[in-house]
Amino acid sequence: MNRFLTVRWRLAAAFFLVILVLLSLTGLYLLDWTEGYYVRLISNDLRRESQAMAGLVQAAPQDMSDVVTNMGHDLGHRITIIRSNGRVLADSESNFRRMPNHSNRPEFRQALAIGYGTSTRYSATLKTKMLYVATSYGPRRDPSGVVRIAEPLSGLDELMTAIQRTFILAGLAAILAAAALSLKLASGITDPIESIASTARKLAQGDLNARVSAQPKTSGELGELASTFNVMAEQLQSNVDEMNRQSARMQAVFDHTDNGLILVDPEDRIRMINPAACRILGIGCPETIQKTLIEGTLSHDLAGLVERVRRTHEPAALDVDLLTTNERAVHAYVAPVPRPDSVIDVLVVLHDVTSMRKLDTIRRDFVANVSHELRTPLASIKAMAETIMLRHATNPDAVPGFAESIVQEADRMTLLAEDLLDLARIESQRRDAVVESLRLRGVVDGVFDRLTRAAEKKSISLENEVKAEEVIDVESDPLVQILMNLVDNAIKYTPEAGTVKIWADHTPEHIAIRVSDSGIGIPTEDLSRIFERFYRVDKARSRESGGTGLGLAIVKHICEQMGGSISVKSEIGTGSTFSILLPAGQITDDAESF
């Protein structure tokens, strides 16, 4: 904005013009008054002189030319004697005989009428501006003539020129003083206003700490305005701070909630998306902003749900399967978000229900598997019991064999029940850990001793390759249960004359206990599922060997409770190696005897 169009300069210009007009009018009035005053002074002097001359002319002889000439020379004024008919009788400076009739002169006619007259005009005879003062003589009602005295006004013009010059110089000084005074007066009014305007600009630019500076000389309405503005600025800052705090809290909730949140504008473009939504959808957050919903999510079902909510203005929900790298099941809740401009945004809330769906599937499969595992021995027991009832009289020798089979099936059901109880106990809660310092080689020897009979039946060699000095701080019973399950499985699935061995190695971070066999191996496609409950690679052979299908699932859960993990490597026809990885905090180099 042009600085000369500001309030300060406009006020200064107004003040200056007012002062200039007042000074001009005062100067003109003083000049006119001075000129009039000077003329009045001269007129009074000339009137007195004309009155004196009138008395002298009235008492003197008729020919007054020489007297008038001498008097005019002595007084320094032009003196003219005029008869009542206008004829000039004498003149101190000109040949009166050649002068025209003066009956039409204003001062002459005025003197005849009232005894005294004045006039100011240019004299063609003397070629200058003159002041004429006339006084009649003789009887008042019928004057005999008029004595007129004239004074050149050239001296007055010179005086007035000098006075005007002085007035002009004084006026210029007054104008400069008026300009400075106008600017000072304007600044006194506009400085607080400019301070308020500057503070307002800073507030508009985001500087919420800006305040109108204290003005000691500011009072009245401007002082109240400045004070009110500061109160308003403080209230604005307080409101903005509160909004920022609320926004920060909302942003924290938005960023850290487990539910995915997406805000879609009326043009179906994604305006906001939180990290949880990006994680659920398997997309990147920054590049998704401004994309359409279908471009960002690749889900036509979700886009259709959003369109329906936008059309009906009513919330809606839908289970959506996302075709991403890892298939996810998502429960989508969509709600309209009205805006002041009569359009609506749409809020999409995504809840990942993949784990819940998998859990439901696992539960259904578990119930089905348990039912299936129990149905077979129960059917066998029922069939053999019915056979005993029908044939015990005719074929008593068959009864002991059927009874033995019933006992075997009952043992199988008992083992299944025990494994189910163990698995439920392990999954339900962590037992109070009783950590012991165990010599790992001794633990492996104990496990081998308990399974020696089963190994000898198949001529399987049990080899303990754990170093004698290997000591581990761990819970005894869970470790023994893990090794018992793994060695038992290795014996079951290793052909006769095979080998089962255990060894250990460790790093500063972990200890690894390896259980290896030379058995039949596990197909590659089954490796990822062998730790599932009731999963069997060869179902018929597993049942024949007496397995429940829960052993590896129990081993996995025990390892996880101990803070470790289990993995497997296997080749068909070569054998398998199970690796139990436990934290290094459970390793000790203490070689003390136990």
Which pair of structure tokens corresponds to residue 367? 């119930």
Kindly state the average pLDDT of the residues 278-288: 81
CATH architecture of the domain covering 8-160: 2-Layer Sandwich (3.30)
What integer pLDDT is reported at residue 420 of this predicted model?
63
Lowest mean pLDDT, pick from 121-125, 244-248, 547-551: 547-551
More confident residue, 469 or 588: 469
CATH C-level class of 257-352: alpha beta
DSSP letters spanning 483-547: HHHHHHHHHHTS-TT-EEEEEEEE-SSEEEEEEEE-SS---GGGGGGTTSTT--SSHHHHHHTT-
- Domain 357-426 annotated CATH 1.10.287.130: yes
| CATH topology classification for 430-588 | Heat Shock Protein 90 (3.30.565)
Q: How confident is the model over 432-445, as pLDDT tens digits?
A: 567 788 888 999 99
Cβ distance 15 to 186 under 8 Å?
yes
Q: Which of 121-125, 339-343, 466-470 has the highest mean pLDDT?
A: 466-470
What integer pLDDT is reported at residue 52 of this predicted model?
80
Report d(CA 582, CA 566) in Å as an integer. 9
Kindly state the average pLDDT of the residues 115-123: 84
Does pLDDT of 186 surpass 80?
no
Cβ distance 342 to 357 under 8 Å?
no
Q: How confident is the model over 406-418, as pLDDT tens digits?
A: 776 676 667 666 6
Does pLDDT of 584 surpass 70?
no
What integer pLDDT is reported at residue 391 of this predicted model?
66
Does pLDDT of 591 surpass 50?
no
More confident residue, 483 or 123: 483
Domain boundaries, the chain: 8-160, 257-352, 357-426, 430-588
Under DSSP, the state recorded for 292 is B
pTM for the model stands at 0.44
Does pLDDT of 56 surpass 50?
yes
Does pLDDT of 278 surpass 60?
yes
Kindly state the average pLDDT of the residues 38-60: 79
Mean pLDDT of the chain: 78
Neighbours of 491 (CB within 10 A): 22
Q: How confident is the model over 188-228, as pLDDT tens digits?
A: 666 777 777 777 777 788 777 777 776 545 556 667 777 78
Q: How confident is the model over 62-106, as pLDDT tens digits?
A: 667 777 888 888 787 888 888 888 888 888 888 888 888 888 889
What integer pLDDT is reported at residue 219 of this predicted model?
58
CA distances from 561 to 11, 420, 565, 582 (A): 86, 17, 9, 10
**In the chain, % of residues over pLDDT 90:** 5
Checking phi first, is residue 319 left (phi over 0); if not, alpha (psi -120 to 50) or beta?
beta
What integer pLDDT is reported at residue 499 of this predicted model?
93
Does pLDDT of 395 surpass 70?
no
What integer pLDDT is reported at residue 411 of this predicted model?
65
Q: How confident is the model over 483-503, as pLDDT tens digits?
A: 888 898 889 888 998 999 999
Q: How confident is the model over 132-182, as pLDDT tens digits?
A: 899 988 888 888 889 888 888 776 677 777 877 887 888 788 778 877 877
More confident residue, 186 or 20: 20
Tell me the backbone φ, ψ of residue 439, rounded to 5 degrees: -80, 115
Does pLDDT of 540 surpass 50?
no
Confidence class of residue 588 from pLDDT cuts 50, 70 and 90? very low
Q: Residue 317: CA atoms inside 13 Å, Cβ hemisphere, count? A: 6
Same fold for the pair 257-352 and 357-426: no
DSSP letters spanning 129-169: EEEEEEEEES-SSS--EEEEEEEESHHHHHHHHHHHHHHHH
Does pLDDT of 1 surpass 70?
no
What integer pLDDT is reported at residue 333 of this predicted model?
92
What integer pLDDT is reported at residue 593 of this predicted model?
33
Does pLDDT of 392 surpass 70?
no
Kindly state the average pLDDT of the residues 429-456: 82
Q: Which residues pair with 348 in a beta bridge?
A: 262, 334
**In the chain, % of residues over pLDDT 70:** 80
Q: How confident is the model over 345-373, as pLDDT tens digits?
A: 899 998 888 777 777 766 666 666 666 66
